[in-house]
A and B are shown apart, each in its own frame.
Chain A
Amino acid sequence: MEYRFLPKKGIAPFVTGLLKDFKVYGPVEKDGFPMYGEITSPKDIHLSHAPTHLSPKQFLFPPKETILRFKNGAKPALEPVIEAHNQALFGIHSCDIHAIKLLDRVFSYGPRDVNYLKRRDKTVIIGIDCVPDKYCFCKSVNTMTVDSGFDLFLHDVGSGFVVEVGTQTGKNLLYKNAKTKKATMKEIKKIKEIRDKKAEMFVTKLNAEASTLPLIYSGSYNSPVWEKIGKICYGCGSCNNVCPTCYCFDVRDEIKTNLTEGERFRVWDACTLEDFAKVAGGHNFRKTRAERLRHRFNRKFQYLADKFGGLFCVGCGRCIRTCLVNINIAEVTNELIEEANKDRS
């Protein structure tokens, strides 16, 4: 592992260099809140270390994306559409890098999702250390640090950034666009000091080891907690849409007014919405909000963990912040942990 030292004033030229080869997306401020957005100049970057309201999945798996163009009539024609451009995701937090690694696995599983994977191929990821807010609980799900899945990772050590080189691509970009020097042992040790301090900062925590959560969830199907939160849930889909690992989509067609040409596109879908599990004939196999929430929580902590071998909750806390009725995935999980402990004793 290579560590380089980049002075703070080196960030602007580095980003200017990136802009020559990539569309750059990074942390910006929107209405006074941290968000990811397109960076057209280093001035746009707002390097607060607070979590953003929406996750960076939007740049790999856009909310709406055309996947096919078609033409009806005497000579029908089909043309697949794969939109991908060179892009750099700048200032990505470790939870979100973990999330992208999970999405990589999901979209390569079974029939490969060429739209996602092509875009992913053309993406470089530059991570950055962050400071937890009151909703973050990455430490409880082992995503507070990350050792792969990025091309470069910036550790703010006060005097400047220690840049952790993750890939050869990252190294080339760094050498091309920034004047760095070899980081000293003292500077590298500072990363750990800061990390140790961060570990003490979490307000939101889970009260069980991450590895035990799939088992705890598997025993919680009939817990009263689902009815309790189902009663106050809107079924608005916000928790899904802000989640960095929710990847469900719907596919629809849109035809032009000439009724012969059109596009097929996919849009984000959300399992907490009423019509998500509605099938032909109007039947709905998850009619109630309680059933839909139980499904979503189980996807994060059990079903996908069984399938892919890792939790699909990365502890970013976005679903807690976005929920207007304060359904808190960490509190709910802690209630289930408590129920499981009671059952055992």
Chain B
Amino acid sequence: MKNRHKPKVAFFSFTCCEGCQLQVLSCEDELPDVLSLVDIVNFREAIDEKRDDYDIAFIEGSISRQHEINEIKKIREKAKVVVALGACSATGGLNCLKNRFPMEEVQRVVYGDKAKKYKHLDTIPARPIDAVIPVDYYIHGCPITKSEFLYVLKSLLLGKKPEIPNYPVCVDCKMEGNICVFEKGMTCVGPVTRAGCSAICVTYGCICWGCRGLIDNPNLEAHEETLKRYGLTTEGVLRSFDLYGGWRSR
């Protein structure tokens, strides 16, 4: 690999908690190898350097303000490959919960009555980045899993298309040997949610909240019926679907 041109990689962050970038930084064992394969030219959370010549852009966060639209379009123009990094970027994520309310109200709740006077406090409904620019690949999850980030990066470097699971979390649960959440008297959205997380939440006693978004063809009608059969109201069902799926339900 030595003589090859090292691809330049940049990380960008929009509306989010920046936890997915932190996951990248916590790949401590692999980072020396990663740095021998790529040049990182823009990564606000890790380095001071900021260059605008990059091949691969990993973009974290959803788009929730007008000026972010302009910024991300510039990134798309420069990058050969754009990868959505994490739930906010890939599906809109938790940020889309705000879309249930009028934007003026959201602004007032967060910044107070005078908020609307200040232009820099503007806000628009939160959206995944592919609602604004074309996206080449997706790394799902809230946060992303380190292994999947590395897998996608390695695939891109090898010129292979990364295969992201298109089966639901139920598969991961069975492979992990978990007792089904529904058997334990709880409910989850695992049967319609994209796997690839090794069902980590269920494995550690929680439920699946759906952070990796829906599989390509989820049977949502069936899942609505199931959730109701297990005691959820229509409102409860909507809440289950909306936690991470707010953008989709609009």
Given A33-B183, A255-B158, A234 and B222 contact (CB-CB distance below 8 Å): yes
Report the bound CA distance from A173 to B63 in whole Å: 66
User: Are B174 and A237 interface neighbours, CB within 8 A?
Assistant: yes
User: Are B217 and A274 interface neighbours, CB within 8 A?
Assistant: yes
Closest chain B residue to A37, Cβ basis: B177
User: Are A324 and B33 interface neighbours, CB within 8 A?
Assistant: no
Closest chain B residue to A321, Cβ basis: B183
Report the bound CA distance from A236 to B151 in whole Å: 24
A-B CB contacts (within 8 Å), total count: 98
User: Are A257 and B174 interface neighbours, CB within 8 A?
Assistant: no
Shortest C-beta distance, A100 to chain B (Å), equals 18
Number of interface residues of B (CB under 8 A): 35
The listed residue (A235, A258, A268, A322) touching B217 by CB distance below 8 A is A235
Given A53-B179, A237-B174, A255-B158, A324 and B167 contact (CB-CB distance below 8 Å): no
User: Are B175 and A267 interface neighbours, CB within 8 A?
Assistant: yes
Report the bound CA distance from A53 to B179 in whole Å: 7
B219 located at the interface, meaning its Cβ lies under 8 Å from any Cβ of chain A in the complex? yes
Report the bound CA distance from A231 to B192 in whole Å: 14
Given A35-B179, A257-B154, A274-B217, A325 and B167 contact (CB-CB distance below 8 Å): no
A183 located at the interface, meaning its Cβ lies under 8 Å from any Cβ of chain B in the complex? no
The listed residue (B167, B174, B222) touching A233 by CB distance below 8 A is B222
Interface centre among A236, A270, A275, A325 (most CB of B within 10 A): A236
The listed residue (A35, A63, A235) touching B175 by CB distance below 8 A is A63
A238 located at the interface, meaning its Cβ lies under 8 Å from any Cβ of chain B in the complex? yes
Shortest C-beta distance, A135 to chain B (Å), equals 13
Interface size class of A (residues with CB under 8 A): 35 or more
Given A237-B170, A238-B170, A274 and B182 contact (CB-CB distance below 8 Å): no
Closest chain A residue to B220, Cβ basis: A234
Report the bound CA distance from A289 to B217 in whole Å: 10
User: Are A234 and B192 interface neighbours, CB within 8 A?
Assistant: yes
Closest 10 pairs (CB-CB, A-B): A241-B174, A257-B33, A63-B175, A236-B170, A257-B30, A31-B179, A273-B167, A234-B191, A236-B168, A238-B170
11 A-B pairs in the complex with CB atoms less than 8 angstroms apart: A30-B179, A33-B179, A63-B174, A63-B175, A232-B222, A234-B219, A234-B223, A236-B168, A237-B170, A241-B175, A257-B37
Which B residues are within 8 Å of any A CB, using their own CB?
Answer: 1, 30, 33-34, 37, 150-151, 154, 157-158, 163, 166-168, 170-171, 174-175, 177, 179-180, 182-184, 191-192, 215-219, 222-223, 225-226
